[in-house]
Structure 1
Amino acid sequence: MTDSNSEEMERRRSFRLDMEKELVDIVWSDEKGQEHNKKIICLDFARGGLKLDCDESLPVNTAVTVVFKSANARHQKLYGKVLRSIKQENGWFEIALVLDKNA
């Protein structure tokens, strides 16, 4: 078994949390440096990343800040990058983020 296969198996066995379509805020900057802020649905949260449901595609490698419970003073921010953006049959995009381990 190669290292990548072993890492993939470990990732699949790791803790996963079904977010039950909890709303989160995401913040990112486009190629022109314009900051965007959007409230979207978080579908899945795991050790290495998140799966989001968004009405627009985000380019691969875009840096994204995810804010859980932004109205709460004790909100939590996570930082990641877009791993993939897949258009669904309903026209929305499934966005996979990989978390930044250094943030």
Structure 2
Amino acid sequence: MKDKGDGGVERRSSFRLDMEKELVDIIWTDENGQERTKKIICIDFARGGLKLDCDIAIPLKTAVNVVFKSPNRNDDSHKLYCKVLRCNKQENGWFEIALILDK
């Protein structure tokens, strides 16, 4: 464990990037076979995956493509291939979705 310096203890050993309130595009195929696209908030990005804040639930094990777009250029984007690991409903009615990177 690492001391975070703010009194809390960091339990993760991998690199983490604070993505609070950063918008990303996600693309997945729903249970009806329809491709869905949504712009949502990325909360955390770590070596193993991402945590998102979304207004709808996405089923466990669903394949999700996450697209990060460069703020400086429209054509410069990066795509990650992931799967839904957790989808927990929060008190505010939104869902905290954990994605694991799919290798």
TM-score when scaled to structure 1? Answer: 0.84
1:97 to partner: Cα distance: 0.1
Amino acid at match of 1:40: I
**Higher normalized helix content (fraction of residues):** 1
* Structure 2: distance between partners of 1:53 and 1:30: 18
| Backbone CA RMSD of aligned residues | 1.5
Deviations 1:60-99 (A, max 9, x none): 0000000001772110000100001000011000000000
Q: Kindly indicate whether residue 16 of structure 2 is the aligned counterpart of residue 16 of structure 1.
A: yes
Instruction: List per-residue Cα deviations over 1:15-49 (Å, max 9, x = no partner).
Output: 01110210000000012210000000000000010
Match of 1:86 among 80, 85, 88: 88
**Residue in structure 2 matched with residue 35 of structure 1 by the alignment:** 35
Q: TM-score, normalised by structure 2?
A: 0.84
Q: Which runs of 5+ in 2 are unaligned?
A: 1-10
SS of the residue 2:12 aligns to: helix
For the pair 1:72 / 2:74, whether they are aligned, the reply is yes
* Higher normalized strand content (fraction of residues): 2
